Structure 1
Amino acid sequence: MKQLLILILLVAVTMSSKAQNYKFGKVSKEELAQKQHPIDSSASAAVLYKNENIYFEFTDERGFVQRRQIHERIKIYNKDGFDFATEKIFLYQAGAGSKEKLTGLKGYTYNLVNGKIEKDKLKKEGIFEEDATDFIEINTITMPNVNEGCVIEFTYDVISPFLTIDDIVFQYNIPVDKLDLRIASPEYYVYNKKVNPRAFYYPNIKSTVENKSATYKRTVQNNQASRSVKNYSSGTFEYKVNVLSANETNIPSLKGEAYAGNMNNYRAKMSLELSAILNNYGAVEKSFSSNWENVSKSIYDESDFGNQLNRSGFFKEDIQSLVASVNDDFQKGFALQTFVKSKVKWNGLYGFRAQKGIRKAYKEGEGNVADINLLLIAMLRSQGVNANPVLVSTKNNGIPLFPTRKGFNYVICMVENQDSYALFDATEMYSMVNVLPQRALNWQGRVIKDDGTSGWVSLRPSGKSTESTSLNVKINEDFTINGKVRRNISDHLALSYRKSNTGISTDEHRKRLEKNKGDIEVSNIDYKNDTDITQPIRLSYDYTLSDGIDDIGGNLYFSPMFFMATKESPFKLEERQYPIDFSFPFEDKYVINIMIPDGYQVESLPENGAYEFKDNDAKFTYIIKESGKFLQLNISLEMNASFINSDDYKVFKDFYEKIVEKQSEQVVLKKV
């Protein structure tokens, strides 16, 4: 019955999409009156229609010029969908005359007021321009008068002198009712296409060939009576066009799942790689087909990358005393990483190319990722350390589908010493040796040696980050409890905690410690090693909890983990499409000591237990015992594998649910 209802809905939506008028400006009352999405009732917004038309237009001045025409209509169901009323348009530039241009931008917001359609026009004050980098300009459009139930619509055209075609995105974080795509490229440009193999939605893309003609006008020079006279000749030439098209309906939204990592890695999209330019006879005039070795070498040969690594005169005197007595290369890496952090602040911009150049960044005290980490590598090389850059694609950049320079947007430092290596990132204030910020922990990076050779290196941490917690518990006569918590936190867990809590007020820190822990009051917070990254964080505080114990018929019932227990599993789905990605291995350990109050004795305790997932990829142990006037509890969760395949999800889900269930089991104290 359920499957029949879904089928009826799909047919109804498909028939409705055929009946709709998608011409710009023809928004209907039916679209405005729609209260929720007919298939995905949880959607806060939906793309009612998107048309993306990419083609190449012949001009006498530039030859073939790329044009990308966009028309999009979006329904906003509730306030959570208001973000979709803002569109960012990225324009690329590569110097004077080589810049993309935005034209034909117009947009309207439609609202249904007293049964009538009212529309508000996108005005200049709703359009903002900013230079994100030296190569990218962002035009942000914010639609006017956005309300629950409204429909927004916009259209624009990007004229580009570049042959590179941006990735085509089919799947969004909201459902797409209808999408029409057409890409028409002249036969002279050969593109390889690849649809993301990690995606769970696969569009139907058709390939056809069409005939086309273009006119040209050519200047002819004639010499008459010793003076040059310009004449013009014109003509028409025929050529073929390779067309990729897709007409998709009811594309499901890309919904996040707990600990899935970067969802962009699973988004349905198509990449087009320019592999060759052909001449009029069909022969290869220029080949762009490449491999990662060639891509890496071409990046290394750039003046704002490889050339930066041989500069040292402007800092050499400043660093000699820092490493003069240091013999270990990894310790030199840490010392110089600390120095770079103190001298050059990260401006928040990514990129593997130096934005300012390492000299200027050093003098001005600010730079992008490449300015900072290439500076660190240059310093290390000046001291005879085997240091090399590692190209990275950050988590929000996804994993590249082709060997292409666009596949990277970040760079870090790698130091090799005999058979081992260490990774460094001086952009992150609280990073350590081999403790990179999570944005850079994306599968693997490409290290480029000073001789131009390159290879892959794993970015996934192998060592475990740990958090150890001790909890002392005293049960009072009014059945409140109080005591002290002590926590030690190391490595990636410490980096994350420092980023969130270092520098905030004590009052704000207290509120965060109390959040989601029931009726608790925290006091006497002692936060040590908040900025000393060479040491684990040491945190302690006193607490009073009012709702931790139930008195039923004179017996006391409580979970011995109290507010430390995991209340529910984040893995609720019966089926899961995406892997679980914890980013790094970790271990959580708890030692809890509970003083048995006078007049009570132990009636029952939870059973000791141990659970294991897939050959020790994860392990949970629970040991509780009575020792004199105390109950002693030792708990440990070891996550030795940070990446769990979706095929193992059901087994892992069961493993984790057992952990949550075990932590909720209760101690019973009987009144004597």
Structure 2
Amino acid sequence: MKQLLTAMLLVAFTLTGNAQNHKFGKVSKEELEQKQHAIDSTASAAVLYKNENIYFEFADEKGFMQRREVHERIKIYDKEGFDYATEKIFLYRGNGGSIERLSGLKGYTYNLIDGKIQKDKLKKDGIFEEDANEFIEINTITMPNVKEGCIIEFVYNVTSPFLGIDDIVFQYSIPIDKLDLRIASPEYYVYNKKVNPRAFYYPDIKSSTENKSATYKKTVQNNQASRSVKNYSSGSFEYKVNVLTANETDIPSLKGEAYAGNMDNYRAKMSLELSAILNSYGAVEKSFSSNWENVSKSIYDGSDFGNQLNKSNFFKDDIATLMASATDDFQKGFILQSYIKSKVKWNGLYGFRTHKGTRKAYKEGEGNVADINLLLIAMLRSQGVNASPVLVSTKDHGVPLFPTRKGFNYVICMIESQDSYALFDATEMYSMPNVLPQRVLNWQGRVIKDDGTSRWVSLRPTGKAKGSTALNVKINDDFSVNGKVRRNITDHLAMSYRKRNTGISDDEHRKRLEKNNGDIEVTEVEYQNGTNITEPVKLSYNYALNDGIDEIGDNLYFAPMLFMATKECPFKLEERQYPIDFIFPFEDKYMINIMIPEGYQVESLPESGIFEFKDGESKFTYRVKENGNFLQFNIALEINTSFINSADYKVFKEFFEMIVEKQSEQVVLKKV
């Protein structure tokens, strides 16, 4: 009976929700009274309604101009949803002064106060403009008087001289109750449509055509005997419009979880690629359709890319001495990468095109990604090394759906020698050959050879990063614990640790080691090889722990990994539509020596065991040994394949839950 009543209430709510007035400004008390989302009770906010209307209008002297009208209404349930009261609108600039313009921006925040709807208007002090770079202006709107339970609503228009249509996003990190989309483009512009194949929500997109007419007025210059006279001619023309529509309801949120990578790779979205421009007779006037081979070659042929690889006179004398001791190509790569790191600072800007050019970046000591990594390739080529650029789409840029220059936003270096290769990125202070920053480790990159040919190359690391920890444990008379930790880490684990901790004070380092580890006090921290990237990171410290032992009667209970144990499984969802991405393979080992306190003996110990996922793709080893007055534990987790498919999620989740459970098993010591 309870289940039937719940279902009836849900249907009633859905019918009521679908009958809501979506007109701007017509927010209802029922919407404001909602305490939680009807379908997703965990949602901190929800899009009650979104309307996006994209179309083209003909303008005299300008031709077709793109218009984008947006109306959005969002319900905020709790403080975690406050972030959705901020909206960013991106406006693009092109060459020759072409620019997108924002107009018609209006917004309100609605609160229910003593049973009455209170409206707070978006004012100028809630609108901020900033230049992200020379091509993008960001308008950020921050809604006023945001409270738990409020509704925010805004509308705006963007007028664009560009034919490119931004990706259409169908799915947020919060649920969407209703979404209406309409895209109408003139028959002269041919767009290829592609919906993200990695998404697990697939919208129903309908296609149709309409007839439309437009008028024009054209200036005609007549030169008469003694003066110039302007005349005007006018007329009209008819054309077809290709229309795409989607009317979706109850779009589920895209829930992030541990080790998911860039969630945008799995978001329901649609890309529209301008493939051709037709003339009035329907013939192709200009074609944009391409493949990755052509895209790569067009990038390489640019003066801000391939041309930069042939410039060497400005650095040749500087690197001559450095190269005298190099014995092979990979060593040359490491030496020159280290030299560039010390010589040219990365300004934080991405891009596969140089911003300053390699010569200017070298002289000024600063540049973007392309300035730095193309400089590295140029130096290597000047030394006879087979070095090539690799185009990359970073993790936050996503995986491109079409072959287009916009699919890439980064470039790194590849050295090929004797049937093997290594990847380099000189922008990252702590990177090594084949140890690239995590922002780059996104599936695959496109390597371009100097003859213009190109191919895909995997960016996923194959070598394992390793961590090794020795933990000594002494149980005191008051049942506090103290001892020493020694830890060595390599490769990507070491790079991540260096980025977080190199350069901070000893006191701050100590506080970070204590954080979230219970009632622990850390002293005598020694941190070695923070900047010496050719050696493993070495860390040691003493600790004192006051809450590691439970005394119950005559027995002592404790988990042998103490504060180093994984407290809970990071994988919470019962089902997961997207894979687990650990980014790189790794191995983490613990060697624990526990001194049995005087007057106690072992009552029981966790059992030794080895647990595997998919024939050793992941492996957990737990070995226990009693050796006189000491207990010795050897515990290791090996993630040999960093990418776990969604089809294997449930099995891997069980495997990881077993690891957490095993780490929580307790040693029991009995008083003699």
TM-score using structure 2 length? 0.97
- Aligned pairs for 1:55-70 (under 5 A) are 55-70=55-70
Residue identity matched to 1:69: E
CA shift, 1:9, in A, is 5.3
Q: Residue 418 of structure 1 corresponds to which residue in structure 2?
A: 418
Q: How far has the Cα of 1:4 moved from its partner?
A: 5.3
Give, in whole Å, the separation in 1 of the partners of 2:8 and 2:392: 47
Distance in 1, Cα, partners of 2:224 & 2:527? 90
Amino acid corresponding to residue 359 of structure 1 in structure 2: R
Quick one: which amino acid aligns to residue 17 of structure 1?
Answer: G
1:406 counterpart residue number: 406
- In 2 relative to 1, CA 383–8 (structure 1 residues): closer, same or farther, beyond 3 Å? farther
Measure how far apart 1:524 and its partner are: 0.7
Q: SS of the counterpart of 1:390?
A: strand
- Superposed displacement of residue 30, structure 1: 2.4
Equivalent position of 1:628 in the other structure: 628
Q: 1:13 to 1:275 in 2, by over 3 A?
A: farther
**1:356 CA displacement:** 2.1
- Alpha carbons of structure 1 residues 245 and 633: separation in structure 2 relative to 1, 3 Å: same
Equivalent residue number for residue 430 of structure 2: 430
2:190 paired with 1:190? yes
Distance in 1 of aligned mates of 2:316 and 2:131: 34
In the superposition, relative to structure 1, how do residues 464 and 101 fare at CA in structure 2: closer, same or farther (>3 Å)?
A: same
Q: Which residue of 2 aligns with 1:170?
A: 170
Partner of 2:665: 665
Q: Aligned-pair distance for 1:550?
A: 2.3
- CA distance, structure 2, for counterparts of residue 405 and residue 65 of structure 1: 23
In the alignment, which residue of structure 1 is the partner of 2:491?
A: 491
Contact 1:199 1:268 in 2 (8 A): yes
| Contact 1:565–1:663 (Cα < 8 Å) also in 2 | yes
1:455-470 aligned within 5 A: 455-470=455-470
Deviates more, 1:638-647 or 1:405-414: 405-414
Alpha-carbon contact 1:485-1:542 (below 8 Å) kept: yes
Which range moved further: 49-58 or 146-155?
146-155
Name the amino acid aligned to 2:16. Answer: S
| Cα gap change, 1:128 to 1:357, in 2 (>3 Å) | farther
Write the mapping of 1:124-143 to structure 2, written as runs, cut at 5 A. 124-143=124-143
Q: What's 1:517 paired with?
A: 517
Task: For 1:473 and 1:223, locate their aligned partners in 2 and report how far apart those are by CA, in whole Å.
Answer: 99
Whether contact under 8 Å (2:104, 2:157) holds in the other structure is yes
Give the drift of 1:534. Answer: 1.0
- CA contact under 8 A between 1:9 and 1:38: conserved in structure 2? no
Query: Counterpart in 2 of 1:501?
Result: 501
**Whole-angstrom distance in 2 between the partners of 1:4 and 1:165:** 46
Distance 2:582 2:430 in 1: 20
Q: Which residue of 1 aligns with 2:211?
A: 211
Comparing 508-517 with 1-10, greater Cα deviation is found at 1-10
- How far off its partner does 1:595 sit? 1.3
Within 2, Cα distance between the matches of 1:317 and 1:132?
37
Q: Does 1:475 align with 2:478?
A: no
* Deviation larger for 447-456 or 349-358: 349-358
| SS of 2:533 mapped into structure 1 | coil
* 1:117 corresponds to: 117
| Offset at residue 113 of structure 1 (A) | 2.5
Tell me how far apart the structure 2 counterparts of residues 393 and 416 of structure 1 sit (CA, whole Å): 21
Q: Deviations over 1:471-521 (max 9, x none)?
A: 111122222221100000111011111111122222222222122222221
Are 2:158 and 1:161 equivalent residues in the alignment? no
Measured in 2, the distance between the counterparts of 1:6 and 1:467 equals 51
In the alignment, what sits opposite 2:234? 234
Between stretches 139-148 and 165-174, larger displacement belongs to: 139-148
Q: Per-residue displacement from partner, 1:424-477 (whole Å, max 9, x unpaired)?
A: 111211111111111111100111111111110000000000110001111222
State the 1:294 CA deviation: 0.6
In the alignment, which residue of structure 2 is the partner of 1:326?
326
Q: How many angstroms apart in 1 are the aligned matches of 2:2 and 2:614? A: 35
Amino acid at match of 1:197: P
Give SS of 1:61's match.
coil
Aligned positions of 1:234-633 closer than 5 A:
234-633=234-633
More displaced 10-residue stretch of structure 1: 391-400 or 557-566: 557-566
Query: In 1, are the aligned partners of 2:257 and 2:572 still within 8 Å (CA)?
Result: no
State the match for 1:15 in structure 2: 15
1:624 deviation in Å?
Answer: 0.8
Distance in 2 between the 1:23 and 1:79 partners? 26
2:92 — aligned with what?
Answer: 92
CA distance in 2, matches of 1:75, 1:42: 13
Letter in 2 for 1:274: L
Unaligned runs of 5+ residues in structure 2 are none
The count of corresponding residues between Structure 1 and Structure 2 is: 672
Matches within 5 A, 1:36-115: 36-115=36-115
Q: Unaligned 5+ residue runs, structure 1?
A: none
How far the C-alpha of 1:224 sits from its partner, in A, is 4.4
C-alpha contact (below 8 Å) 2:76/2:149 kept by paired residues: yes
Cα displacement (A) at 1:227 = 5.3
Report the CA distance between 1:413 and its aligned residue.
1.2
Compared CA separation, residues 547 and 423, structure 1 to 2 (3 A): same
Distance of 1:241 and 1:2 partners within structure 2:
51
Residue identity opposite 1:310 in structure 2:
N
Distance in structure 2 (CA, Å) of the matches to 1:462 and 1:223: 74
Letter in 1 for 2:654: D
Cα pair 1:257 1:578 within 8 Å, conserved: no
Q: Distance in 2 between matches of 1:627 and 1:133?
A: 64
Determine the C-alpha separation between the residues in 2 that align with 1:552 and 1:223: 107
CA contact (8 A) 1:66 1:160 kept: yes
Contact 2:489 2:538 in 1 (8 A): yes
> Following the alignment from structure 1 to structure 2, what is the Cα–Cα distance between the partners of residues 228 and 176?
60
Q: Within 2, Cα distance between the matches of 1:480 and 1:21?
A: 64
C-alpha contact (below 8 Å) 1:489/1:536 kept by paired residues: yes
Contact 2:217 2:233 in 1 (8 A): yes
- Give, in whole Å, the separation in 1 of the partners of 2:348 and 2:170: 29
The answer to which of 268-277 and 507-516 deviates more is 507-516
One-letter code aligned to 2:454? S
- Find the aligned partners of 1:19 and 1:577 in 2 and give their Cα distance: 32
CA contact (8 A) 1:616 1:640 kept: yes
Q: Amino acid of the residue matched to residue 620 of structure 1?
A: F
What is residue 642 of structure 1 aligned with on the other side?
A: 642
CA separation of 1:563 and 1:271: change in aligned 2, threshold 3 A = same
Indicate conservation of the 8 Å contact 2:291/2:403, yes or no.
yes
**Distance in 2 of aligned mates of 1:294 and 1:6:** 57
Q: Is contact 2:555–2:668 with CA below 8 Å preserved after alignment? A: yes
| TM-aligned CA deviation for residue 109 of structure 1 | 2.0
Aligned-residue sequence identity (percent) comes to 81
Of residues 307-316 and 390-399 in structure 1, the stretch that sits farther from structure 2 once superposed is 307-316
CA contact (8 A) 1:47 1:176 kept: yes
Closer, same or farther: CA 115–555 of 1 in aligned 2, 3 Å: closer
* Alpha-carbon distance between aligned partners in 2 of 1:272 and 1:119, rounded to the nearest angstrom: 38
CA distance in 1, matches of 2:357, 2:576: 45
Decide which moves more: 43-52 or 268-277: 43-52
Contact 1:14 1:249 in 2 (8 A): no
Q: Give, as a single letter, the amino acid of the residue that structure 2 aligns with 1:277.
A: I
CA contact (8 A) 2:526 2:540 kept: yes
The code of the aligned residue for 1:491 comes to D
| 1:220 shift after superposition | 3.6
Contact 2:349-2:369 within 8 A present in 1 as well: yes
Q: Mean Cα displacement is larger for which, 462-471 or 660-669? A: 660-669
Offset, 1:81: 1.3
